[in-house]
Amino acid sequence: MDPLSDVLSLLKPHNHMSAGFDAGGEWSVQFPESRDSIKCGAVVSGQCWLSVDDVADPVRLDTGDCFLLPHGRPFRLASDLTLSSVEAVTVFSAARNGGIAVHKGGGDCFLVSSRFALTGNHASVLLGMLPPIVHIRKDTDQSGLRWPVELMMRELRERRPGGFLLVQHLAHMMLIDALRLHLAGGLQGGVGWLFALADRQMGAAIAAMHEKPAHHWTLQTLAERAGMSRSTFALKFKQTVGKSPMDYLTRWRMLLAGDRLQNSSDPVSAIALSLGYDSESAFSTAFKRVMGCSPRQYSRDGNAASSQESPLGFPLMQPALSESPA
């Protein structure tokens, strides 16, 4: 797999709500906080405003625009942001199991949206890299995204047999396509693995580590993959990713190890060997340094001990809160 697919697979995004929203007239709907989750939406017809807590400027969403809200902050959708809001739970109660919520008669603005909970550990590996609002405008080349949006709209309207499962798959397609479009838009000025994927040379080195995590990579062989001298590669990788190449490789290996410790019955010795460690002792030392506890403690307790960083180096998110179906 590629690095973005690798990370999404480990974080296991679970779509636990997809719905349509058909609003008419003047309206404003307030959505609650929902940490460790991603909201993904698209405007099928009409226009509205999107306002997110602690983000100074609202965003105007036009027909064909898509958006991601990665940080779980409270947000508001409205025809006019000066209006008083109603709570989303009251509007979406009829669409708790999917379908379309109609507000004020509908007909003026139609959206489809999905909410994903990240069930894998270290959600901030992905969420910490994204801005509070990812706005993908309709003039972006989003032909790949338009198809699942239109098909989801049809499935939500018609409620045909098998529709629930199909909507689940379409929601995942929307999420991945939106992330890819954001990545293709050119991420400038940030530090982290996601920003590095937008750079051809750094992306090649990261892809090599993800493709063969057990390989005995050296700074020289990774620099060759990037087509750079060793010193230039090391400097640029640290500036772009925020970690040295070897540190990134170790941390990625530990993420893979943590997933296997939780989701397989493989012994520690086998996991160590599969990730390029010649001895269980060397692997355990590296695991404890990165994850904050021994492999056996991690397997028993289900998470890292008291570490305040995820394995790729971002602050951990807080526990998820209860939320409305919206």
- Between 177 and 1, the more confident residue is 177
Residue 224 has pLDDT above 80, yes or no: yes
Domain boundary among 184, 214, 245: 184
Q: 88 and 136 in one domain? A: yes
Q: Is residue 326 part of a domain?
A: no
Please give the full DSSP string across 57-75, using - where no structure is assigned: S-EEE-TT-EEEETT---E
Q: What is the pLDDT of residues 18-64, one digit of tens each?
A: 889 999 999 999 999 887 778 889 999 999 999 999 999 999 999 98
Q: 142 and 33 in one domain? A: yes
- Between 49 and 124, the more confident residue is 49
Q: 119 and 63 in one domain? A: yes
pLDDT computed for residue 316 by the predictor: 34
Q: Is residue 26 part of a domain?
A: yes
Residue 313 has pLDDT above 60, yes or no: no
pLDDT computed for residue 152 by the predictor: 77
Q: 198 and 175 in one domain? A: no
Please give the average per-residue pLDDT across 145-158, as a whole number: 76
Least confident of 13-22, 66-75, 187-196, 235-244: 187-196
How far is 318 from 310, CA to CA, in rounded Å? 12
Q: 152 and 50 in one domain? A: yes
pLDDT computed for residue 208 by the predictor: 96
The CATH number covering residue 86 comes to 2.60.120
Q: 69 and 179 in one domain? A: yes
Q: 174 and 227 in one domain? A: no
pLDDT computed for residue 151 by the predictor: 81
Please give the average per-residue pLDDT across 292-300, as a whole number: 89
Q: Domain tally for the chain? A: 2
Q: 159 and 22 in one domain? A: yes
Q: 216 and 273 in one domain? A: yes
How far is 316 from 3, CA to CA, in rounded Å? 20
Least confident of 53-62, 123-132, 171-180, 291-300: 123-132
Q: Is residue 66 part of a domain?
A: yes
Note the Cα 134 to chain centre separation in Å.
11
Residue 169 has pLDDT above 90, yes or no: no
Please give the average per-residue pLDDT across 278-282, as a whole number: 94
Q: Would you state the structure tokens that stand for residue 217, as one six-digit string?
A: 């990579």
Q: 213 and 167 in one domain? A: no
The CATH number covering residue 202 comes to 1.10.10.60
* CA nearest to 263, candidates 91, 9, 63: 9
Q: Which domain holds residue 250?
A: 193-301
* pLDDT, averaged across the chain: 83
Please give the average per-residue pLDDT across 277-285, as a whole number: 95
pLDDT computed for residue 308 by the predictor: 42
Q: Is residue 324 part of a domain?
A: no
Residue 181 has pLDDT above 90, yes or no: no
- Between 148 and 103, the more confident residue is 103
Q: Would you state the structure tokens that stand for residue 135, as one six-digit string?
A: 């706005």
* CA nearest to 39, candidates 105, 88, 83, 94: 88
